[in-house]
Amino acid sequence: MRHPTTRKVVAFTFDDGPNPIYTPQLLDIFREANGKATFYMIGEQIERSPDTARAVLEQGHEIGNHTYTHPDVTKLDEEARRSELLRSERIILETTGVKPATFRPPYFAFDEQAAATVAEFGYPVIGAVNGAARDWEMPGVDHIVETTRETVEPGTILIFHDGFGDRSQTVEAVRQLVRELTSEGYELVTISELLQSDQV
């Protein structure tokens, strides 16, 4: 997914956190680069690591809704689906004081019924273009970097993961990509900043 813009901006997104080990490592990378990112957090993970969630927001990043327990929302009935989004929205608000503004469906599983539920919350649904990088499968730092690099142009949205299992390859790949893209003049922005940046 790419947002049409004339500005040289890229939005890094991180799903499935917060994680007390890997999320802070990513925050360090973005602080050094003067960049911002968006974290699609799982509600029950926020309950386990509320301080990490607060640190993300305090450092100027954005938190998006990624449901409460990470189900395939197309397999839920309407009430269960609404509850997954609402519980997560409330936990984000109670933990950080800020309401999430966008949604990313777990597994990118999405259909018309899910769209109707998400519309009630007013969330834009956020995809990504570098799914082939498969960082969650630990395919190697070089694979993640090279596959992602090919997808980058102004307005690109990138997906990585800071939750579940060993995410050290992700951290290292992101460190390299952030260094590379900022040296090319890219500004690293949050999803909401990207959506507000001018259309072509």
Site for Zn ion, rule CB under 5 A: 15-16, 106
Nearer to Zn ion, 24 or 106 (CB): 106
Active site residue 161: yes
Nearer to Zn ion, 137 or 142 (CB): 137
- Specify whether the CB–CB gap between 2 and 151 falls below 8 A: no
Report the residue number whose CB is nearest to Zn ion: 15
- Least CB distance from residue 108 to Zn ion, whole Å? 9
Nearer to Zn ion, 121 or 136 (CB): 136
- Least CB distance from residue 39 to Zn ion, whole Å? 11
Q: Pick the catalytic residue: 3, 66, 70, 161?
A: 161
- Specify whether the CB–CB gap between 136 and 164 falls below 8 A: yes
Active site residue 143: no
- Specify whether the CB–CB gap between 57 and 23 falls below 8 A: no
Q: Pick the catalytic residue: 15, 16, 135, 162?
A: 15
* Euclidean distance between CA atoms 84 and 68, whole angstroms: 5
* Euclidean distance between CA atoms 47 and 113, whole angstroms: 28
* Euclidean distance between CA atoms 28 and 159, whole angstroms: 18
Residues serving a catalytic function are 15, 161
